Amino acid sequence: MEEEFRILEGKDWFIWNLGRKVQEWDLVFGVACWLLWQWRNRGLFEEEFKLPGRLGEAVKGYVREIRVAQVDFGRIGGIRVEQQVSWKTPCAGWLKLNVDGAAKGEDRLAGCGGLIRDDSGKWISGFARKLGRCSAIQAELWAVISGLELASGLQIQNIIVESDSSAVVELMHKLIVGEDTEVSLLTEIRWALNLFKRIKISHVYREGNSCADALANYSFVQKELKVIFALPPVCVTSCLYRDNVGIAYPRDTLM
């Protein structure tokens, strides 16, 4: 089969790939073609452009992001219902860590942020971190790593981690039950998880993760590579207020 892939040319090559019955190959092949075309053009017109070191991993990263978008925007079938989304305080004896990552622009400059609150909604600590160039999923993983490091440094024992990335939540659940993954950043997360007595991983919609989102976006304008906030910065004060008074936002979700 691989030999057939190599010897086909032109139109026959496209027809063969589009006709493959391998799961999600149409998506993988489409993303690969788009990236190859983009890289070719950037190589011609941008003197400083360099190909990614691992082309296959770059394609997989884009495919993962598309899968998440398909779920988030309801492109996979199901019944759509409206529900009210808000941030929820953790149970007594637990603290909650909300994290978020962001990658922007063609250069994919990224940053992440997060915050820890107690069972009354009181601010414990927070962070914002520049990441340089990486994918959105990598930025989300760096947010988890940075947040767990912060919580461990405060000697927190029982922690709930909330992220609005369903892909990251799924990967972390696999870590807890001992499944192997292909994402190298998860090795560091696996080690960090062992620093806590009890830990829970939850997915939260973006409307319930606005404070972490504000901190992730703040990382793009701060001068330092990483900032730890003992007190809430101005960029999250309005979000904190809305969370503390329990303001909810409508969101269409799939059932």
Distance from C-alpha of 151 to C-alpha of 195, rounded to nearest angstrom: 9
Structural tokens at position 66: 């598309």
Nearest one of 190, 200, 108 to 141, comparing CA atoms: 190
* Structural domain includes residue 34: yes
Same domain flag for 7 and 129: no
pLDDT tens sequence across 184-221: 788 888 888 899 999 999 999 999 999 999 999 999 99
Same domain flag for 115 and 204: yes
Range of the domain at 76: 2-81
> Which of 23, 57, 81 is the C-terminal boundary of a domain?
81
* CB contact at 8 A, 113 and 100: yes
Average pLDDT, the chain: 83
Same domain flag for 29 and 132: no
Is the pTM here over 0.85, yes or no?
no
Give me the residues of the chain with pLDDT under 70, please.
1-24, 68-80, 106, 176-183, 253-255
Same domain flag for 223 and 111: yes
The pLDDT assigned to 151 comes to: 97
Same domain flag for 120 and 207: yes
Same domain flag for 212 and 126: yes
Nearest one of 185, 174, 84 to 141, comparing CA atoms: 185
Q: What CATH code is carried by the domain that includes residue 218?
A: 3.30.420.10
How many domains are there within the chain? 2
Same domain flag for 34 and 144: no
The pLDDT assigned to 16 comes to: 67
* Structural domain includes residue 96: yes
Same domain flag for 90 and 177: yes
Structural tokens at position 62: 């884009």
* Structural domain includes residue 255: no
Distance from C-alpha of 54 to C-alpha of 184, rounded to nearest angstrom: 13
The pLDDT assigned to 159 comes to: 97
User: How much of the chain exceeds pLDDT 90, in percent?
Assistant: 47
* CB contact at 8 A, 42 and 34: no
Same domain flag for 76 and 90: no
